[in-house]
Amino acid sequence: MDIIISNSSGVPIYEQIEEQIKKQIMTGELSEGQALPSMRVLAKELKISIITTKRAYEDLERDGFIESVTGKGSFVKGISSDLVKETMRFAIQELLDEAVDKAIVGSVTYEELAEMLQLLYEEKAERP
C-alpha cells in the first residue's frame, strides 16, 4: 500500500491517509478482505504518530471502508457501488463549491464556468 504524505499541502495528515486509502479501495488497488498494515506499522513507515494513523483508521471504519477485528487487524470492507458513487459525488460537490467561490470572486460568469467544466470533462474523458 503506497501512501505519500505532504507536510506542505495544508491538509491534515490523517485526512491525507484516509483519502489515499479510500481512493485505493474505490479503484480496486485494495480489494475486499485485504489486510491493511497495522496502525503501528503504518505510523513507523510514514514516520508519524500512531495517534494519526489511529484517527485515519477510525474515520475509515466509521465511513464503511474498512472493518477492524480486535486482535487480527483492519481489513478492506466490501463496498457497494452506491457508496462509491455517493462518496465521489460528495467529493465533487466540495470541489465544485470551491470552484464556484473562486469564480464569483474572479467575476467569472456561470456560462464561462460551465464551458470550462465541459472542456475539461471532454478532454479527460477522451483519455484511455
What is the chain's mean pLDDT, rounded? 91
**pLDDT at 103 exceeding the cut of 80:** yes
pLDDT at 8 over 80: yes
Q: Please give the pLDDT value at position 128.
A: 61
**Per-residue three-class SS string for the chain:** CCCCCCCCCCCCHHHHHHHHHHHHHHCCCCCCCCECCCHHHHHHHHCCCHHHHHHHHHHHHHCCCEEEECCCEEEECCCCHHHHHHHHHHHHHHHHHHHHHHHHHCCCCHHHHHHHHHHHHHHHHCCC
pLDDT > 90? residue 54: yes
Top CATH class of 13-76 equals mainly alpha
The tens digit of pLDDT for each residue in 23-50 reads 898 888 999 999 999 999 999 999 999 9
pLDDT reading at 10 higher than 80: yes
pLDDT tens-digit series, residues 59-81:
999 988 999 999 999 999 987 66
